[in-house]
Structure 1
Amino acid sequence: MSSPSREAVLDSAGRLFGERGYRAVTVRDIAAGAGVSAALVMKLYGSKEKLFAAAQPDESLLGELDVPASELGATLVFRVLMRRERGLKEPWAMLPFAIQDSPAPESARAETRERYLASIAGLIKDTTPDRRHASMVVALMTGFGEAVRTLGLFEGWDFDQLVARYGAIVQAQINVCAADS
């Protein structure tokens, strides 16, 4: 149960689930990608469902943002682009896949929606009962994550220019929230 084996399994699972989806990936595929046995994968995670949950990108990075409210839009966009450049998992791009391919899509949708809305609502101080402003920011960022990672849009764009342009779109919605408060 060494840490390098656990990390290799998670990396393999995250990559394969992201490329093919939950149903098309087997524990044997994950083990082969990690260079370990399927038995070790099961020993480490207990089931394919638990491994799928563990392999999802962590959106807790939203809680780490310590920037002025006027810079939130650009900061969110910057982080997506930096993860792309570093080859890291993109939580925004994986949201739809994680939900659709989950062993329990309805509960995954409800749980994921609540986590993301609560995180963004807290960041932008959205106190509306339906968290309408947070919903708009989540939609904008999910679309951006998908456009960048899945569709490969914005390749060849100047990094700073893209942060400024799309960040302004996200920031406009954040500003509407502040104006409504």
Structure 2
Amino acid sequence: MSAAVVSSRDAILDSAGRLFGERGYRGVTVRDIASDAGVSAALVMKLFGSKEKLFAAAKPDESLLSDLDVPASELGATLVFRVLMRRERGLKEPWAMLPFTIQDSPTPDAARAETRERYLAAMATLLKDATPDRRYASTVVALMTGFGEAVRTLGMFDGWDFDDLVAHYGAIVQAQVDACGETRT
């Protein structure tokens, strides 16, 4: 692929991820995405084949968990900090996109199972959660999904001091991280 095609593909994925995250699958057209990305709708279709395939390619991924290189004692605050930094920078929020990814998917049951497994596996690996039901990983994923959705969609915590919010909500997440660690000792 040429550099221009790669650049256009990245722009399309960025626009699609943000627009799907804001409006859901049904609320976004290929033309909306193309316009936002500064490309033609024909190019979007050429690169992705269909709106459904574009939605699948633009969905949030668990890589936001794989590049965390912090001590376990800082994990809760780091996860919260990253959500708030993405909000400050106007970047898409993968945690807030999770409900849209599933509910608006053309195949919601398959999307639910696949997304749940990807996020739980990544979080369980990060936490070293060896419980049979991955209870700590499940709880942290739920806390972060709720936080991402509350911050981005509902505008919760507007007016809070950034550092105070990191400390406050980070401590809530950290309690589960620490509880998981206690099961290993």
What's the TM-score bracket when you normalise by the shorter of the two chains? Answer: over 0.9
1:106 to 104, 109, 125: 109
Q: Residue 172 of structure 1 aligns with which residue?
A: 175
Query: How much is the aligned-residue C-alpha RMSD, in angstroms?
Result: 1.4
Kept after mapping to 1: 8 A contact 2:18/2:91: no
User: TM-score, normalising length from structure 1?
Assistant: 0.93
CA–CA separation in structure 1 for the residues paired with 2:131 and 2:60: 28
Kept after mapping to 1: 8 A contact 2:9/2:47: yes
Identity %: 81
Shift of 1:37: 2.3
SS in structure 2 of the partner of residue 81 of structure 1: helix
Shift of 1:19: 2.5
For these two proteins, the number of residue pairs brought into alignment is: 181
Shift of 1:39: 1.6
CA–CA separation in structure 2 for the residues paired with 1:34 and 1:81: 24
Kept after mapping to 1: 8 A contact 2:21/2:96: no
SS in structure 1 of the partner of residue 101 of structure 2: helix
SS in structure 2 of the partner of residue 11 of structure 1: helix
Q: Residue 56 of structure 2 aligns with which residue?
A: 53
CA–CA separation in structure 1 for the residues paired with 2:77 and 2:28: 36
User: TM-score, normalising length from structure 2?
Assistant: 0.92
1:84-113 CA deviation, whole Å, 9 max, x = no partner?
111111111110011101111111100110
Kept after mapping to 1: 8 A contact 2:21/2:100: yes
CA–CA separation in structure 1 for the residues paired with 2:65 and 2:11: 25
1:52-93 CA deviation, whole Å, 9 max, x = no partner?
111123320211111111111111111111111111111111
Q: Residue 140 of structure 2 aligns with which residue?
A: 137
- Amino acid corresponding to residue 51 of structure 1 in structure 2: L
Of 7-16 and 153-162, deviating more is 7-16
CA–CA separation in structure 1 for the residues paired with 2:127 and 2:6: 37
Q: Residue 160 of structure 1 aligns with which residue?
A: 163
Shift of 1:165: 0.9
1:84 to 79, 83, 87: 87
Shift of 1:147: 1.0
- Amino acid corresponding to residue 37 of structure 1 in structure 2: S
SS in structure 2 of the partner of residue 157 of structure 1: coil
Structure 2 unaligned regions, length at least 5: none
Of 3-12 and 133-142, deviating more is 3-12
Q: Residue 152 of structure 2 aligns with which residue?
A: 149
SS in structure 2 of the partner of residue 65 of structure 1: coil
1:139-164 CA deviation, whole Å, 9 max, x = no partner?
11111111111111111211111111
CA–CA separation in structure 1 for the residues paired with 2:27 and 2:146: 24
- Amino acid corresponding to residue 84 of structure 2 in structure 1: L
Matched, 1:30 2:33: yes
Q: Residue 11 of structure 1 aligns with which residue?
A: 14
1:124 to 118, 123, 127: 127
